[in-house]
Chains A and B, each alone.
Chain A
């Protein structure tokens, strides 16, 4: 520890170089932590899906619906346990409800108040999603109320909603909009989830009767997707093919995949997202390694005489090497701390900015927090980069002879 002030003083030798290196390192760690947080959040989201569930959608695009008759035909396929019609509603709280519009005016949708909401065929849907734990009396009330809504605990907390409260939603999808204004809902049930069994299940979600959507839109809509529960998870591939084969020659061909694959594609993340993000992180880290190594090499080269003096004074080669490596690690530590702070700041910003936070919640990324394990990994990467950058110049200093270095001008 008594050498620490000595190490830190050397960092002040060239402020511009030190600060730019620290900034480069900070950007590296910022990117690493941010990308890893996004990746982990997506993985958590995917981990909350079940291997026993398939999602069938229109093969062309999610934008196109599937005929309602498909539900019964899918249910008839051997190996399929149950099928539920679902439709992504894409509703937001209208400003009218929030008191943001003038009384009597047309409602104005407040898109910043967006959260995931979906119309579902309640009975089969909740049977195939046991992770949503609903008190039986509330579930009964919901089933008997066409305008009833089941909301997750997080959503209830966010808006202070309790059972019996009313709210309005307006969809951004034209076929799901009514001429007479937004959809009205009553909170009939609040669901929780078992944090041990289903730690990744998000309760920032609202579900309501598909029938309500169907009736309110003049029975002109079809099914957005079909949620399908199968008997044997190992048959998921074969059943997906069987379902798609059923509608191969129809106008609306289906594309059936596991819930996990569907979730990944739904958030517009290709399967190679992890590879892409990791590649970016690796490329940035390698670049920063070169930058820092160059900085350290220059710093050591400038100080060859001083290194010779240290050795002359009695510092061993190992001690001199340690001082140089410590200096590089200190650069890494400062950059790492700055990068972590930046990443944490970005997360905070995203989760506290109206519009952005709701958009993230809409794709299931409401838990975008810098986890301690990622922060620790990021800091370790920073220290590792510092060590790697300092090692070669330190090794050169270790090997160099005093008399040779004293001759260097």
Chain B
């Protein structure tokens, strides 16, 4: 990776203070359907230090995606606190939360979720539309992010013209282009073949190691989880100690 690329996607050095990047405190999440209540997360406590690469594992329905959504600020806890990059996410209004997400979180989906009518570079540029950057600056940053994920030569391609692994790389470029503090990934290799999955995991490791991105990844795959520094297991909404 060149020094130019490293500068473009700014490395967030791990702070030396003990303040965790992600601090989940006594979080409960309860879904209500009519009179019925379903407790998905029950008193979760989780601290992720800055620059950490964490894997959340567990069987289906254990609440790992719900926890990831809470950390990403796309859902709110029923009770408890979710503090990410120093911000208590649950206290923000909807519009504040949207702004916060654009600045602080990069989300990587299992099914990439690229916009099919946009080229790769336009997909990556999408989060930058919310900034005050000029069109040229936006394009430059998007191309740099594509370089980081090794797809600079595919910038003009539409998602349908890319393989699954390439689509996921574009999605990762989109997640990192805004230089967020935290990357959250919901089974990023779940829809990929073994080779592509390996490439994506290597890329995530690079982002963590070289750019010091804090990564929280949900996965079913023990091999994927093994690439993380720390693994947490959820079972029936409760975090099990490893």
**Chain A CB within 8 A of B98 CB:** yes
> Which among A309, A312, A319, A406 is the interface contact of B115 at CB below 8 angstroms?
A309
Q: Is the CB of A10 within 8 A of B117?
A: yes
Q: Which of B2-10, B101-109, B194-202 contacts A (4 or more CB under 8 A)?
A: B101-109
* A302 to B: closest C-beta gap in Å: 10
Interface centre among A10, A312, A319 (most CB of B within 10 A): A312
A contact residues around B75 at 8 Å (CB): 401-403
Q: Is the CB of B130 within 8 A of A315?
A: yes
Query: Which residues of A from 296 to 347 have beta carbons under 8 Å from B?
Result: 305-306, 308-319
Q: Is the CB of B118 within 8 A of A312?
A: no
Q: Is the CB of B69 within 8 A of A403?
A: yes
Q: How far is the CA of A6 from the CA of B130 in the complex (A)?
A: 13
**Chain B CB within 8 A of A100 CB:** no
B contact residues around A306 at 8 Å (CB): 113, 115
Known: A3-B129, A9-B118. A315 touches B98 (CB 8 A): yes
Q: How far is the CA of A318 from the CA of B99 in the complex (A)?
A: 12
Known: A2-B129, A312-B107. A13 touches B101 (CB 8 A): no
Pull 14 A–B residue pairs with CB atoms less than 8 Å apart, ordered by A. Answer: A12-B117, A309-B113, A311-B74, A313-B107, A313-B126, A313-B127, A314-B101, A314-B102, A314-B127, A317-B98, A319-B98, A319-B130, A402-B69, A403-B75
Say what secondary structure dominates the interface of chain B: helix
**Chain A CB within 8 A of B95 CB:** yes
Q: Interface digits, B121-145 against A, CB 8 Å rule (1 contact, 0 not)? A: 0100011011000010000000000
Q: How far is the CA of A358 from the CA of B117 in the complex (A)?
A: 51
**Chain A CB within 8 A of B94 CB:** yes
* B225 to A: closest C-beta gap in Å: 22
Q: How far is the CA of A28 from the CA of B165 in the complex (A)?
A: 47
* B168 to A: closest C-beta gap in Å: 14
Q: Is the CB of A314 within 8 A of B98?
A: yes
Please name the residue on chain A nearest to B131 by beta carbon.
A314
Q: Is the CB of B117 within 8 A of A13?
A: yes
Please name the residue on chain A nearest to B113 by beta carbon.
A309
A contact residues around B103 at 8 Å (CB): 314
Q: Is the CB of A6 within 8 A of B129?
A: yes
Known: A3-B129, A314-B101. 10 other contacts (CB 8 A): A2-B129, A9-B118, A9-B122, A305-B113, A306-B115, A311-B98, A314-B98, A314-B127, A403-B69, A403-B74
Contact residues on B (Cβ < 8 Å of other chain), bracket: 20 to 34
**Chain A CB within 8 A of B59 CB:** no
Binding site for B on A (CB under 8 A): 2-3, 6, 9-10, 12-13, 305-306, 308-319, 401-403, 406
Q: How far is the CA of A402 from the CA of B73 in the complex (A)?
A: 10
Known: A3-B129, A312-B74, A403-B74. A9 touches B98 (CB 8 A): no
Q: Interface digits, B83-109 against A, CB 8 Å rule (1 contact, 0 not)? A: 000000000001100111111000101
* B73 to A: closest C-beta gap in Å: 9
B contact residues around A316 at 8 Å (CB): 94-95, 98-99
Please name the residue on chain B nearest to A10 by beta carbon.
B117
Q: How far is the CA of A44 from the CA of B174 in the complex (A)?
A: 60
* A405 to B: closest C-beta gap in Å: 10
**Chain A CB within 8 A of B116 CB:** yes
> Which among A13, A312, A318, A401 is the interface contact of B116 at CB below 8 angstroms?
A13
**Chain A CB within 8 A of B72 CB:** yes
* B13 to A: closest C-beta gap in Å: 24
A contact residues around B94 at 8 Å (CB): 316-317
* A12 to B: closest C-beta gap in Å: 6
Q: Is the CB of A313 within 8 A of B116?
A: no
Please name the residue on chain A nearest to B135 by beta carbon.
A2
Q: How far is the CA of A312 from the CA of B115 in the complex (A)?
A: 13
> Which among A12, A311, A313, A402 is the interface contact of B174 at CB below 8 angstroms?
A313
Please name the residue on chain A nearest to B74 by beta carbon.
A402
Q: Is the CB of B72 within 8 A of A312?
A: yes
* B103 to A: closest C-beta gap in Å: 7
Q: A-B pairs with the 3 shortest C-beta distances?
A: A314-B102, A316-B98, A402-B74
* A75 to B: closest C-beta gap in Å: 77
Q: How far is the CA of A12 from the CA of B99 in the complex (A)?
A: 29
A contact residues around B69 at 8 Å (CB): 402-403
Please name the residue on chain A nearest to B96 by beta carbon.
A316
Q: How far is the CA of A334 from the CA of B225 in the complex (A)?
A: 51
Q: Is the CB of B109 within 8 A of A313?
A: no
B contact residues around A310 at 8 Å (CB): 126
Q: Is the CB of B130 within 8 A of A314?
A: yes
* B99 to A: closest C-beta gap in Å: 6
Q: Is the CB of A9 within 8 A of B99?
A: no
